[in-house]
Structure 1
């Protein structure tokens, strides 16, 4: 029985034509295919052997498309093949290159997602006094629990006073129905409900939303992670259920204030003391779920963006006075962070507030 080499040589010795063609390939470098075509055979039905572009001649594509040439010795069909001396017939080589114009899928750009900047805003140090959208009025509603209210802050302003200082080039009006008794700002209103859960906030936020803020700063869920499920985390402290409740709260906000920009905090964590360890671990799980909750709404065209306060503790030590609430200095730092996030929002999202400012004359 003849060996493989003899069979190949016999095949080549027939008056055959050899067609070299490169079929389309998805990559940027087409793969050339060598076809051995017997006389009278359809070239497209001939068997083929792939060759890399570098194994072919150094001709340009245009030269290959135009050329026909005569080969006077056989071309090895696989690496390492050798041939014995022989008197070859004349073989005509018809060459063509078919280059695909399809490009590989580009890698996603992490800074261009969902049609608006980054999916999660990170703190970036900003100089105070940046005019947001040419000094547009900002009617800001701060929504959340005792941290939003400013619990423990000596002047009773929480982060709002520092945020107003940073936004000095814009007129800032505080929306909300809550006002701390010791607030140093006469108009330091908010919608912070100390000791309350996401569900409670959702059920009591309506009057504040009717004031039609154009920026809403939402930070909720700390009490939902509390270990005391009888007095504080009354709706349970499962992180996944809390994340669903957060989604319901966001839906309420975007439904009643469709023109507002909603910045949703990936909330700060508690300290890692022995008594707070379990809550801290639940909070970590909850933090990881918040971006997905925000993403779902954003994909539906809502002007909602997650802002990352989970790394806030990296800014320094002793930020919490009682493992939960910020110190006076830390409240100011929180105001700077909210300012940084607001400056990163796409200004096309920020619209003039609708209707009149809240009437405080009777307060």
Structure 2
């Protein structure tokens, strides 16, 4: 059977693809201010969705004759090398060839534009060689029809072994195994190769006739020494087993460089690690939402972007210091991401700002790539350029601590893609157009260090985890993760009500949600649906349940908490890369 499998193609989907001179299906092909290609790939036509966004959709001929262009040569990546056992004497199955893609976020499809990762290339190659295939697994991702797989974001080898139990009962014929990345940042990296071999033994016990394609790790921007040691060791171990007759194929990705990868490092959703193209496309989509007129009758709301900010303002006292704080914000982020994709054509990864990587360093937080004026989200506000309105006097909106004054300097943001943005709501419950305000506070840097993250992740109950993440305490330095992320940027982001007026709100809360997901996945049996806390800030208190319906004002229908606990299921359907 191995003669029918091109092992060098098994993971070729991880390599960078040559840029096309035409717009792919579901790519942007027009809209106000758009300056890119307007010609759709053959089989697609450019459909105007609104004044700011047109998209290539299936159907019809190309919208134009392809213009003559001089393409920049794309470097040809080195083909991954393979070591395989002699072709085994195995009977080709009479039914479909069962293929189990097994691994972490790369297998799931994180970072690939179509979500298919390497799986579609492998399926196409097997089909071309005469096989009818059936990909198996408990999760689905990608636009390929047969998109079943067993790829799990952030999973270690031990966790992947647990996930493999169910699909291995089907006795797959081919298993692609890409695992170990998330073991490179643990405390026992030295034994990771042994854990991989134990997983391979488990596979052969469950499916003795299977062929396993084992890939080593691609380059990482961290722990590269651990990666090098791991790669050398697993190659030796796999080749030893091949010589003993085990049906293994070793797929070496060591020749892949960071320039060959989709994001230059790893399919990583971290905002600071997004490709420049993804960052630019993300900010373009945000600005698109800031331009689409709103149909809401809510006072002060002018755009789709405003609708989300208004929702948070109106519900602030219902969704903080309560048991559904994390669940509500998770779905709020999902709704925002859906609007960016459906209405403004954003196709990049779910984003977050991993602020600990900036806080752990000796430099200023202001030097973070997230604040880059060209490829990031712009920098600090200019002192003296903004004066907040008088406090409302409404006890539900007590002042504006995030704005200039109270020891925090700041003003209108003057750099980056949002330097001319007009925020229509806030501070607090105020209504009125103003600039995007920031007031960096370096004193809050200590709140975001990785030791605080580790302390939060070490909590053993949901209640202690929730309160530690939202409020700090429990030996956590500074304001803690939630408050520290808001405070270090200051301005609009520090206002407890109108903070979604700064696009960085969604990256900050994306990281909080990622940390919650990491805590859930550390013990999914006991933590995936773990929940506790009150449903209100004030008495009479009622304990939260999974059936509690969370409100979302005009942007969405109420939703039960249980519906958002698993991000790999509807309605979330996304993964974090680490």
TM-score, normalisation: structure 2:
0.29
TM-score, normalisation: structure 1:
0.46
Q: Computing the radius of gyration over CA atoms, which structure comes out larger, 1 or 2?
A: 1
More helix by share: 2
Q: Which has the higher contact order (CA 8 A, sep 6+)?
A: 1
